[in-house]
Amino acid sequence: GQDLPARIKQDIAGAIGRSSRPDAGRKLFEWFTSLSEGDEEMLGWVCRALAELDYRPAIPEFVERLKRQSKSRLGELILIALGEMRAKEALPELLNLEAGQVDEFWLGDAISQMLSEEDLASLPARDGRERFAVLLAYARIGIDSVEGVILSFVLDATQPQRLRSTLLDEWASSMSGYVKEAGYVRKARRKRRASKEFLSALYTLVGAHDELAPRALRYLVEFEEDLGRLANVFYCEVPQFRFPLHGRETARNDAQRLALIGDILRPWLKRYLEQSGTPAMLLCSCGALAELIGDESTWDAIQSNRDVVEAVVGKYSIGVLEHRLRSGPPPRTMVEGFYGRSPE
């Protein structure tokens, strides 16, 4: 069977993984150990099939393979499999892998599936970049007692921006009641009220005006209950942003809340859309906001300055805006605004 095309071998591995035969796991594991280490994709498929069977004698071999090929596609698939198997017994060796030796995102995903909330809360937070995987697991479960540690990492400008952004997203999602399990996101609990510490961290991130600021603003729009204070962020901070707002990173709210925000911000928004001297970055952000909270009067403001706005956001986006602003409010539950083109 070694000469079969890869696609057929993948199908065979999947079929065995769904088998009810008592010896399916043993035979599949024998196949796994016979495969060349260079055949990472096939090894990964067999690994996932063993996880589907929950064939636990394979766990020590998975860990050994991970040590040898940790930063590979196979390493990712092994971590996914260990998470699906909730292989708690493998955790000590996983956490002992040196920093940079394993993909922290997939490790964090595996840990969040392996451990209960009580188990996670008992894990000591580690210093430096290597602690990211544990923090990611904390965030996905939504453990309130470690919010300070999570926010400390997110606010630490010496940490990679990609990691800070991911951790912020995961923490905000868990506060909104969403959990990620086996690669799927579902609404599992009611939205929690934001703590003063979380809101303070968001205001700090917004005030930095850097690449993380638009994402932090999205969560202020979602969690800040004081709409007057939120409006001041748009008035004072958004004009200083060095990166434009994008619709999906600006709002995840129902239509009623967006309508309240729109009533406050539309005059400010129209003023910048009408001005020929509005900086390109700000004009790009205003286009994204217009998609979310604009009305027909917002379209009139764009029309009065159409050549300038179109030069920034592009002709296609102008067409999208016209359709949206002249056809009523955005969808009621999840609002996904258009992606304006960043100015050069």
Residue 252: what pLDDT?
59
Residue 129: what pLDDT?
41
Residue 279: what pLDDT?
95
Place of tokens 């071999």: 61
Residue 37: what pLDDT?
79
Residue 344: what pLDDT?
41
The rounded distance, in Å, linking the Cα atoms of 314 and 312 is 6
Residue 241: what pLDDT?
96
Residue 226: what pLDDT?
94
The rounded distance, in Å, linking the Cα atoms of 294 and 11 is 50
Global pTM reads 0.80
Task: Give the list of residues 6+ apart from residue 32 with CB closer than 8 angstroms, or none.
Answer: 43, 46, 47, 50, 58, 61
The rounded distance, in Å, linking the Cα atoms of 126 and 242 is 33
b vs e for 52-64, b when ≥16 Cβ sit within 10 Å of the residue's Cβ?
bbebeebbeebbe
* pLDDT tens digits in sequence order for the chain, 344 residues long: 455 566 776 677 777 777 778 888 898 899 889 888 777 888 888 898 899 999 999 999 999 999 887 778 888 899 999 999 999 999 888 888 766 777 888 888 898 888 887 787 777 655 444 478 888 888 888 888 889 989 999 999 999 899 999 999 999 988 888 766 555 555 567 788 999 999 999 999 999 999 999 999 999 998 999 999 999 999 999 999 999 987 655 555 566 778 889 899 999 999 999 998 999 999 999 999 998 889 999 999 999 999 999 999 999 989 989 998 988 665 543 333 333 334 44
The rounded distance, in Å, linking the Cα atoms of 201 and 167 is 13
SS3 assignment, position 244: coil
The rounded distance, in Å, linking the Cα atoms of 18 and 27 is 13
Residue 22: what pLDDT?
80
